[in-house]
């Protein structure tokens, strides 16, 4: 295994999180590519784990906290570290040390860049981006928001811990309409899939449904709302966990339409 920087030949794979074979990824649109193009000149760094056969097995990306969806100063933040764990594609290649190697490479990189520390987010649930995994690698709790924990590893003493950017308000309703409000940042294909499906489903109902887009790629929008990614129907957050299917999103909209 070898850890390398992102090169042009690997961009296509990176944009779909190493899942070129996935039919679901076809619903993700080009949001991650646009996010990458926006952030690549603002400090975004990407590293890939290349297996002995030359195939990509894992990835990590990280960027200055000031460009992310947390509040922090002089830190880098990891939105995602992912080692392929599905049967399709290259197969399940987890538990081979790739994640540890990717994290170590990122830490070494940001230290050389002069960062004061490295932050990441983790789930308090036993699957992807586990908070407990980061704790095993020297990270400690900085903040918590529901089942999401913000963790960090300071490189200097007496630093102020980073914080989550918290929701500031909820999308308004419009009398006589169903309002579907979709917040999209672009960094995560799973969230991008939900956005694209919701947009397509909302269009099925014509003038009865108003579809609103909030691009939190713009820091001002993110700061105003305090929502990075999310799908709301008449002001109620409906998305939790893995991407909702198109059929499920459409049925939730239809339920509100029937109440008009």
Q: CA 24, 29, 33: angle at the middle one, nearest 5?
A: 115
Q: Which two tokens stand for residue 242?
A: 């893995």
Going by the DSSP 8-state scheme, the letter that residue 206 receives in this structure is G
160 CB contacts (<8 Å, ≥6 apart)? 73
Q: What CATH number labels 178-257?
A: 3.40.30.10
Chain length of the chain: 260
User: Three-class SS of residue 106?
Assistant: helix
List per-residue pLDDT tens for the chain, 260 residues long: 899 999 999 999 999 999 999 999 999 999 999 999 999 999 999 999 999 999 999 999 999 999 999 999 999 999 999 999 889 888 899 889 999 999 999 999 999 999 999 999 998 877 778 999 999 999 999 999 988 999 999 999 999 999 999 999 999 999 999 999 999 999 999 999 999 999 999 999 999 999 999 999 999 999 999 999 999 999 999 976 789 999 999 999 999 999 99
Q: Provide the residue ranges of all domains of the chain, joining segments of one domain with +.
A: 2-164, 178-257
**Structural fold of domain 2-164:** Aminopeptidase (3.40.630)
């Amino acid at each position: 295994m070898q850890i390398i920087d992102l090169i042009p030949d690997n961009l296509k794979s990176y944009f779909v999180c190493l899942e070129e074979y996935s039919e679901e990824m076809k619903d993700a649109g080009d949001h991650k590519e646009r996010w990458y193009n926006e952030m690549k000149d603002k400090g975004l760094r990407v590293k890939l784990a290349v297996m002995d056969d030359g195939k990509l097995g894992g990835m990590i990306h990280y960027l200055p906290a000031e460009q992310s969806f947390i509040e922090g100063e002089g830190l880098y933040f990891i939105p995602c570290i992912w080692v392929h764990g599905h049967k399709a594609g290259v197969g399940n290649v987890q538990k081979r040390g790739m994640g540890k190697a990717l994290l170590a490479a990122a830490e070494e990189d940001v230290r050389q860049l002069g960062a004061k520390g490295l932050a990441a987010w983790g789930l308090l649930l036993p699957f992807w981006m586990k908070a407990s995994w980061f704790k095993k690698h020297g990270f400690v709790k900085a903040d918590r928001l529901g089942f999401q924990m913000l963790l960090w590893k300071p490189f200097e003493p007496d630093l102020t811990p980073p914080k989550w950017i918290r929701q500031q308000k909820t999308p308004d309703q419009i009398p006589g309409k169903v309002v579907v409000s979709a917040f999209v940042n672009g960094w995560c294909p799973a969230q991008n899939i939900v956005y694209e499906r919701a947009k397509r489903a909302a269009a099925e109902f014509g003038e009865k449904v108003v579809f609103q887009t909030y691009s939190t790629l713009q820091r001002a929008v993110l700061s105003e709302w305090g929502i990075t990614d999310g799908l709301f129907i008449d002001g109620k957050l409906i998305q939790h966990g893995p991407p909702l299917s198109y059929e499920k999103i459409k049925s939730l909209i239809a339920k509100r339409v029937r109440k008009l």
